[in-house]
Structure 1
Amino acid sequence: MKKIVAVLLPLAIFLIVFFYTAIPFNFDGFISPVPEYVPAGNRPPEFGAWLAYWDEDLAIENLTLGLPVQSISPVWYVLDGTAALTQSPHQKGSEIIALAKKNTVQITPTIFNDFDGERVANLIGDKAKIADFLDTLITIIDDHDFAGIDLDLEVIEEDDKLAFSRLVDAVGQLVHQKGKLLSVTVHAKAGKNDWPGSLGQDWQEISKYADRVRIMVYDYHNSKTEPGSISPIDYLEDVVDYAVSQIPLAKIVIALPLYGYDWSQEKDVIPLTYEAISSMVNKNRIEVQLEKQSFSKHFDYQQDGVGHEVWFEDAQTLEQKIRLVQSKGINKFYFWKLGGEDKRVWEIK
């Protein structure tokens, strides 16, 4: 008996040490009981992603891999303080366009207003500025033969709702005359107790003129809030249910996060890519938890005596959220943003 113990004990110790040191701490084993969502139909999800102009190298690295994305929206055009449409300071547009064409990926560049609703108010209140805006759009489309345009104008006042819908109508007419697609990106809302910045976007009206309405179901908790899930699954369901009541199913695109936030006790909040989070977890052997209500992952750590709390999404949490959305009959998804994400997301079928 002693001989058997003498032989087996070192083997057991070896196996424990091997599994502890050799396997990365991705904690996919943290499964909690959640509903089994059944997709409506057998079609694989359609994926697209935004490209941030300040992270072009990461995006190019991913495009080189030939990931299964049908379209990309580089954030290349800005509505400035004078209501003029200008280029963002991107550097590698030609390379991105070439890679997209090589991989048959549609490009619908994003026009954004840097979260400044006043810029939108300045535009929609001036017919001459609207005319200039539309002329610039024509030039952008003609010069690059893009598949369409993504209009991402955020934080619009409720008083500007009607005028903003008219702008979407005008842009839609112009884009469709060119045989192109119009996507309009909107804040998430559920039809009650909604954030005021979302009230200037009338989903029903917008969907009359847009081919796609991308709903940003992320930043539920963000740099201005306490720590928490960026995209809670219960809130996602509320948003999707409201969207289905306002927008034709075929036009709904659900936008989800590929990133996380690090909240410190000193009130600093830093966005992190999944790759940065994964590296931190594996390097420091941090224990990751899966919260049941939000179906999002999180962990705590200390650095220089300061407490930190990190919340993020990975392939496991996103797959469950994608299945929920599919169970409602929606199959189109967009992600913020391409580069540094959990690559297993692209394996979701």
Structure 2
Amino acid sequence: MWKRAEGESRRGKRRTGGVLGRTGGSIWFLVLIASALLLVVVMAIPRQSGPEPPGPLVVASLPFWNLANGTSTVVRNDEAVNEVSPWMYGLGEDSRLTIQYSPVQATEVAGHLQRLREAKIPIVPSLANITNGEWSYEPVARMLHDPEKMRRHVIEIVELVKRENYDGIDIDYENLKAGDREVFTRFVTELGTALHGSGKRLSVAVFAKTTDAGYDERNVAQDYVAIGRVADQVRLMAYDYHWATSPPGPVAPVGWVRDVLRYATTAIPRDRIVLGIPLYGYDWSGGNATSVTWLQAFRLATEHRAQTAYDPATQSPWFRYTDAQGRPHEVWFENSVSSKAKFEAARGSGIRGVYLWMYGYEDAGTWPELRNSLPASRSRGRA
């Protein structure tokens, strides 16, 4: 923490009898005149104000398959966003870093990143345990339980961040096991220390939970208290309360989101907590669901003339329709109203900010609601 500047130190005066004795009152007169002039000069210098209180952090998570639209949306709304996390790095079978997009997309991706840099938006890309396009446990587990592989992995990440001039890295290692808890803490601690030594930041994505144990092994594997000590941002993935293979229901019911925040603020410093907010939904039919953007949900409701309802208890919109094959569907999604409820929950909890999982085309009304609830400060993005 910055220490408050102390006042001028008072040094004891050392008497030098001979000099003072010879000059007498003339010296004191000159001292008084000089002091008065100095006071006038000091008062005339404009007082420098301290840094303005930082505003909320607003991060846009941009998956590589939506990088073009996501970049354009962020640049259009750059006064509402002060950090971006392109979701584009993964792990190979050998636990080494990989790029999730294909080589033929490299030039296009570089162009989008350049647009973000020109807009002066800090870039903190996400690194996930995605191998060959799928979530994979073994590569990250091998790294976590092998000290040499972990050391190499930390070095590789720091070199990537420095080489590409990123502001930091976001670690999104999912579906770990309870037995990985201690080594995962060791990994993020070593990575945080190395990044901070290079003037870079560490963000860690964690599964949402309302107790330390949570509801399964992947929750146990993430120690909120320990991670909160070393990460600059702890991103709560407060979504997928209902998911692709669950029964239909809201993606992020606001009551559950508040419960997640209530627990998180007992374990992690509030100024390090960033609430993940989904801007997508699911379309269930036959026991499974496909993910949908707000735009896709809107088109489905329009095409099938479905009446959209709004569940006040969970603050979530939904509708039902029957497709051309006669199969019933139930869609739960997010719009500007449901997102606003979560923006207000974040603001009310006093946490650092939010990150938006921008799966695709979101409700355009989300952006004014975001600006009203959480006016972003660019300086916060570089804190």
TM-score (norm. length: structure 1): 0.84
Contact preservation (8 Å) 2:301, 2:321: no
Partner of 2:326: 305
Task: Evaluate the alpha carbon distance shift between residue 316 and residue 302 of structure 1 in structure 2; reply closer, same or farther with a 3 A threshold.
Answer: same
Does 2:365 correspond to 1:344? Answer: yes
Q: Which residue number in structure 2 is paired with residue 157 of structure 1?
A: 177
Q: CA deviation at 1:119?
A: 2.5
8 Å CA contact 2:206, 2:222 repeated in 1: yes
TM-fit CA distance, 1:44: 6.2
Partner of 1:223: helix, strand, or coil? Answer: coil
**Count of aligned pairs between the two proteins:** 307
Please identify, of 199-208 and 283-292, the stretch whose mean Cα deviation from structure 2 is larger: 283-292
User: Which of 253, 263, 275 lines up with 1:254 in the alignment?
Assistant: 275
- Larger Rg belongs to: 2
Partner of 1:78: 90
Given the alignment of the two structures, is residue 88 of structure 1 paired with residue 109 of structure 2, yes or no? no
The alignment partner of 1:142 has SS state of helix
> How far apart, in 1, do the equivalents of 2:245 and 2:184 lie?
26
Aligned-partner Cα distance in 1 for 2:168–2:136: 23
Asked whether the equivalents of residues 78 and 85 of structure 1 are also in contact (C-alpha less than 8 Å), the reply is yes
Retained in 1: the 8 A contact 2:346–2:354? no
1:139 is the counterpart of 2:159: yes
Question: 2:57 maps to what in 1?
Answer: 46
The within-5 A match list for 1:1-349 is 45-67=56-78, 68-89=80-101, 91=105, 92-114=108-130, 115-191=135-211, 194-265=215-286, 267-303=287-323, 304-337=325-358, 339-348=360-369, 349=372
Shift of 1:82: 2.1
- 8 Å CA contact 2:304–2:321 kept in 1: the answer is no
In the alignment, the residues of structure 2 paired with residue 249 and residue 207 of structure 1 have an alpha-carbon distance, to the nearest angstrom, of: 9
| Residue-by-residue CA offset, 1:201-239 (whole Å, 9 max, x unaligned) | 001001111000000000010012111010011111110
What's the CA shift string for 1:293-329, capped at 9, x where partnerless?
Answer: 2111110000020000000111101101211221121
Q: Using the alignment, how far apart are the partners of 1:324 and 1:43 within structure 2?
A: 19
Q: Which runs of no fewer than 5 residues in structure 2 stay unpaired? A: 1-52, 373-383
User: Whose RCO is larger (CA < 8 A, sep 6+)?
Assistant: 1
Rounded Cα–Cα distance in structure 1 between residues aligned with 2:87 and 2:54: 29
SS of structure 1 residue aligned to 2:154: helix
Q: Give the Cα separation in 2 of the matches to 1:144 and 1:243.
A: 32
Show structure 1 runs of 5+ residues with no match: 1-41
Which letter does structure 2 place at the counterpart of 1:288?
T
Q: What secondary structure is seen at the aligned counterpart in 1 of 2:93?
A: coil
Residues 296/43 of structure 1: CA separation in 2 closer, same or farther (3 Å cut):
farther
**C-alpha contact (below 8 Å) 1:78/1:111 kept by paired residues:** yes
Distance 2:84 2:259 in 1: 27
Question: Is the contact made by 2:122 and 2:166 (CA closer than 8 Å) also made in structure 1?
Answer: yes
Query: Which residue type is aligned with residue 259 of structure 2?
Result: D
Q: Which amino acid aligns with 1:59?
A: G
Deviation digits for residues 39-76 of structure 1 (CA, Å, limit 9, x no counterpart): xxx98643212111122232233134244211111112
Between the aligned residues of both structures, percent identity stands at 30
State how far apart, in whole Å, the 1-side matches of 2:208 and 2:126 are. 18
CA distance in 1, matches of 2:55, 2:188: 30
Per-residue deviation, 1:136: 1.5
> 1:214 aligns to what SS in structure 2?
strand
TM-score by length of 2: 0.76
> Over aligned residues, Cα RMSD in angstroms?
1.8
What secondary structure is seen at the aligned counterpart in 2 of 1:83? coil
- Partner SS, residue 365 of structure 2: helix
Q: Distance in 1 between matches of 2:359 and 2:112?
A: 12
Partners of 1:44 and 1:280 in 2: CA distance: 37
Amino acid of the structure 2 residue aligned with 1:127: P
